[in-house]
Chain A
Amino acid sequence: MNPAYLVRRLGLFVLTVAVGVTAVFLLTRLAPGDPIEAKAIALEAQAGNSGGDIGPIVEAYREKFQLDGPLHIQYLTYLTNLLRGDMGYSMTNYPATVRDKISAAMPWSIGLATVTTVVAMLFGSLVGALIAWRRSLLVVQATLPVLMVTAAVPFFLFGLVLQFFLGVHWKVLPTAFGVDPGFIVGWNVETLWQLTKHAVLPATSVIVASTGLWGLGMRAMMVTTAGEDYMVLADAKGLKERRIFLVYAVRNILLPQTTSFALSLASVVGGLLLVEIVFNYPGIGLLLRNAIGESDYFMIQGVTLITIFAVALALFVMDLLYPLIDPRISYDRT
């Protein structure tokens, strides 16, 4: 691999993270309203007092969370803390740190995201390619309008529908949580069963919706590819149908498909978080929802930062893996 390319791509990765981190810093520091003060007033009201002098409490919190210096000093502290992986304490679950909470939630989100992406990509691409393939069954070709609807509707709306029918109405699958309440996770078959059972509904809602997106992208590309000369040649050579379809058509489209997926990854992640909320799935989406409900600003900030980082990292890794999917891309000459 060309080192110049690697450096450039790494630079973009660092820049993306830096922009995200700075944006979050500026938003939280410059927005009107003082979260610390609001928090103190809320705590006071909770304890049944009001109108007392909250000044000292606010000051103490400010110092504790290092919100009392001039802006550039705050920014430097914030950056150095982040570099050490320190995202502060959860304001509502003190002394739990934001980092602990996120590390506990992250595996759930990553698991859900990986499984759904892989399944949707394989299934969606196949369906999309088959719809455009003029020799496939009419039944398959007729599913195009269905794809258009599923691609258009946000993930979590499917979640609501699935939750109602499969979870509430027919009671076949659990409607919430990562495992049954009170279940102790361990390395055994029972755990695997629990995990699968609880992940089916959230995963399905994402898969159904994103199958539409993959499928439509694939179909559009297939339509243009079908007219290419090399396709006609392959046909004329009398190659097997399956070989033309998989090796000549599908393989050539996979790269642009992956590119368009990379472009939409950031918004897909947003949709995933909402699905977790619908199903009370214990990932970072739920963490975020609770943090919003409790005005836990450091947690909101932490979840946002980690997600920005994760998406940027995923895109970076994907770019490096391109040559493996498509030999036409080579980073040796630029």
Chain B
Amino acid sequence: MTIGPTTEPAAVATGDSASIASGTASVATRTYRFFRYNMKITIGLFLVSIIVGFGYIGPFFVDLELAEVGMVLPPGQAPSAEHWLGVDANGRDMLAWLIDATPDSLKVGVMAGALGVIIGASVGFVAGYYGGWIDTVLRTVTDIWLAIPGLLVLIVLASMVDVLTLEQMALVIALFAWMGAARVIRAQVLTLRERQYVEIARMSGENGMYIVFLELMPNLMPFLLAAFVGSLIGSILAAIGLEFLGLGATHISTLGNILYWQNFYNAVIRGMWWWWGSPIVIFVVLFAGLFIASIGLDEWANPRLKERS
């Protein structure tokens, strides 16, 4: 293992050459080696941090009031030295609007993603650890959930209420963001629970919860992280889908909201490329980053996926 002092060596066979040498190295060196060896995670995190930085450091440089309707006249300006990303049809400075919207979009994703992993991991743990009929029931529930198009159910829900807060939105999205985690964790627990150290813990009379959280959990960290990123991606996608349809947290600026308004005002047909183009750039960087990081995390969790060179 190359990360975290809490994880037992050789508990999960990550199989990287760096891990053998890492026993005595300092935390800094080990961290460096980890990122050096897992290039995909590094690249992914780098791309994601660009967007995070944009949303959280941006407000120190750009006046967010410019993001309000009618702040910049005339409306509909193309990008210029003064307004780097142009102005929308209602006099909102695009740069300020995007900076204002990014953190909230990320927040929904992180909240829903985390919640999704917690639900999914719990389901997966219980199913894999206890097995038997509990496993059958939970697996069937997971399969059913996977077959139901979450976006549509979310649409039904969101269209019944006027407006959702960010937290409510994260909560409902999480209801459709846990299945991936459940499947992965169940499969891992199935193999882990037969290991000898788990057997020993069981024989020494530890209870189920102790075994699950202190013996199994640390070994599942890579899988949990990979599942978290997966569910984060799904959550942000669901949020954008809802917002693009004009549902969800309509009262605050989010990236999906910007897309809704550009569609509402036909920005594409009117040739206002800066209006839809800039949110797309943010999405491409963000999703590419998350996606590459998730592939990297998958490979870290399961080195068999890594190319043999």
Are B287 and A308 touching (Cβ within 8 A)?
no
- The minimal Cβ–Cβ distance linking A206 to chain B, given in whole angstroms, is 14
Q: Indicate if B146 sits at the interface (CB-CB under 8 A).
A: yes
- The minimal Cβ–Cβ distance linking A135 to chain B, given in whole angstroms, is 15
Are A307 and B244 touching (Cβ within 8 A)?
no
Q: How many angstroms from the CA of A303 to the CA of B149 in the assembled complex? A: 11
Q: Indicate if B148 sits at the interface (CB-CB under 8 A).
A: yes
Q: How many angstroms from the CA of A156 to the CA of B241 in the assembled complex? A: 9
8 Å CB interface, A182-211 against B: none
- Residues of B within 8 Å of A15, CB to CB, are 140, 144
Interface size on A, residues (CB 8 A): 61
Which of the 9-residue segments A23-31, A43-51, A81-89, A109-117 touches chain B?
A23-31
Q: How many angstroms from the CA of A307 to the CA of B288 in the assembled complex? A: 29
Are A161 and B280 touching (Cβ within 8 A)?
yes
Interface size on B, residues (CB 8 A): 50
Q: Indicate if B81 sits at the interface (CB-CB under 8 A).
A: no
Give the contacting residue for A16; candidates B147, B273, B307; CB below 8 A: B147
Nearest residue (CB) in B for A306 is: B152
Are A151 and B291 touching (Cβ within 8 A)?
yes
Are A149 and B288 touching (Cβ within 8 A)?
yes
Q: How many angstroms from the CA of A107 to the CA of B76 in the assembled complex? A: 38
> Given the known A-B contacts A12-B144, A31-B161, A168-B268, are A303 and B152 also in contact in the complex, defined by CB atoms under 8 Å?
yes
8 Å CB interface, B119-163 against A: 140, 143-144, 146-153, 155-157, 159-162
Nearest residue (CB) in A for B149 is: A266
Q: Indicate if B305 sits at the interface (CB-CB under 8 A).
A: yes
> Given the known A-B contacts A28-B160, A152-B288, A223-B307, are A266 and B146 also in contact in the complex, defined by CB atoms under 8 Å?
yes
8 Å CB interface, B195-247 against A: 233-234, 237-238, 240-241, 244-247
Q: Indicate if B283 sits at the interface (CB-CB under 8 A).
A: yes
Specify the main secondary structure of chain B where it touches its partner. helix
Q: Indicate if A334 sits at the interface (CB-CB under 8 A).
A: no
Give the contacting residue for B245; candidates A148, A271, A289, A307; CB below 8 A: A289
Q: How many angstroms from the CA of A168 to the CA of B270 in the assembled complex? A: 8
Q: Indicate if A153 sits at the interface (CB-CB under 8 A).
A: yes
Are A270 and B241 touching (Cβ within 8 A)?
yes
Are B161 and A32 touching (Cβ within 8 A)?
yes
- Residues of B within 8 Å of A23, CB to CB, are 148, 153
Which 5 pairs from chain A and chain B are nearest by CB?
A: A270-B151, A31-B160, A152-B291, A152-B287, A304-B152
Q: Which positions in A face B, CB cutoff 8 Å? A: 12, 15-16, 19-20, 23-24, 27-28, 31-33, 35, 148-149, 151-154, 156-157, 160-161, 163-164, 167-169, 175, 216, 220, 223-224, 226-227, 263, 265-267, 269-271, 273-274, 277-278, 288-289, 292-293, 295, 297, 300-301, 303-304, 307-308, 311-312, 315
Please, could you name 30 A-B residue pairs with CB atoms under 8 Å apart, sorted by A? A16-B144, A16-B147, A16-B148, A23-B153, A24-B156, A27-B153, A27-B156, A32-B160, A148-B288, A149-B287, A151-B291, A152-B292, A157-B280, A164-B276, A168-B269, A168-B271, A175-B268, A223-B305, A223-B306, A223-B308, A266-B147, A267-B149, A267-B150, A267-B237, A270-B150, A270-B151, A270-B152, A292-B159, A293-B246, A304-B149
Give me 6 other A-B pairs in contact (C-beta within 8 A), A154-B283, A292-B155 excluded.
A20-B153, A33-B162, A168-B269, A169-B271, A270-B152, A297-B159
